[in-house]
Structure 1
Amino acid sequence: MIFGQIKHKNDETLSQGVRAALDFARTHDLAAFELGKHEIDGDDLFVNVVEYETTSPQDRFWEAHRDYLDVHVPLRGDEQIDLNFLTNMAVKDYEKAADFVSMDGGKNASIVMAPGDFLVCDPQDAHRTAVAVDGKPERIKKAIFKVKIEQ
């Protein structure tokens, strides 16, 4: 996983797809985008703009992905994302059509995401999103870039 700020352009060590996602985030007003999927480079790179209420960790689920990297970019509001590694989790079935792996387990770390931040989650990174910061629910809007992993 990689946690950073969009304004820092030290992208040399990032994959081409992640660099393209961050460049798109820097050059577009994502907060003005309608909710839903927006293609950037076909199935290789797209962004899902979502809005939801943060809540308690007990009301959320763990996930990971195999075919796509996630690049989380908050647009409005703060969100806690809990993190762990798949090797520490009880991994369940993989849903290929949704590129979704669910699992059970506890957190290893948490980060608080605010507008201007980004988080890259690799296939080995379990993440639990939409956790309320300090237990205070908040309506947030964010962009989740999906970057196809070269197989």
Structure 2
Amino acid sequence: MIIDTLDNANFYKTLSANIETAINYLKSTDLQSLELGKHEIDGNKVFALLLNYETQNEFKDKWEAHRKYLDIHYIIEGNERIAVANILDMNPITEYEKNEDFQLFKGKGAKLYLRKNDFIILGPNDVHQPGICFDDAVSEVRKIVIKAMI
């Protein structure tokens, strides 16, 4: 897991070609005017999901992890907490869905704060629960989640 601001994102471009593509997209795209939904960046290797939502209280059994893609969550507007835990400390509650690259878990983890211009890179061992209220106050969040193939 990596958490930082977009201003420092160039430091992480050397991690992989797909992460570099994702960072270049974040830095070169007008994210405010982008339409909600899925956006292709580099075929099935790198794509984005633009989301608008209100943060909520914690979701007890909504921890998720992925095996095929890294998640890069970038906050365009608003703020949220994201809970993160090591996969070894969690209990799976569903089987891995290969076609959706998705598995649900149950457990507890650390809560991190994400503000406007923050991003987090989540790997296959980083089980996460995004969209949690920041200081117990509901926030409108505009966020892009980039999926970068491992």
Range class of TM-score, shorter chain:
over 0.9
C-alpha displacement of 1:11: 2.5
Q: Within 5 Å, give how 1:2-151 maps onto structure 2.
A: 2-8=2-8, 9-58=10-59, 61-91=62-92, 92-107=94-109, 109-149=110-150
1:139 partner amino acid: E
2:2 partner amino acid: I
1:119 partner amino acid: I
TM-score (norm 1): 0.93
- What is the Cα-based RMSD across aligned positions, in Å? 1.3
Q: Unaligned 5+ residue runs, structure 1?
A: none
SS of residue paired to 2:143: strand
User: Matched residues in 1 for 2:32 and 2:125: separation?
Assistant: 29
The answer on whether the counterparts of 1:62 and 1:127 sit within 8 Å (CA) in structure 2 is yes
User: Matched residues in 1 for 2:98 and 2:122: separation?
Assistant: 18
User: Matched residues in 2 for 1:106 and 1:59: separation?
Assistant: 9
User: Matched residues in 2 for 1:101 and 1:80: separation?
Assistant: 20
SS of residue paired to 1:25: helix
The answer on whether the counterparts of 1:83 and 1:126 sit within 8 Å (CA) in structure 2 is yes
TM-score (norm 2): 0.93
Percent identical among aligned pairs is 34
Runs of 4+ in 1 over 3 A off after TM superposition: none
C-alpha displacement of 1:103: 0.5
User: Matched residues in 2 for 1:147 and 1:33: separation?
Assistant: 19
C-alpha displacement of 1:58: 3.6
1:41 partner amino acid: D
Please, which moves more after superposition, 129-138 or 60-69? Answer: 60-69
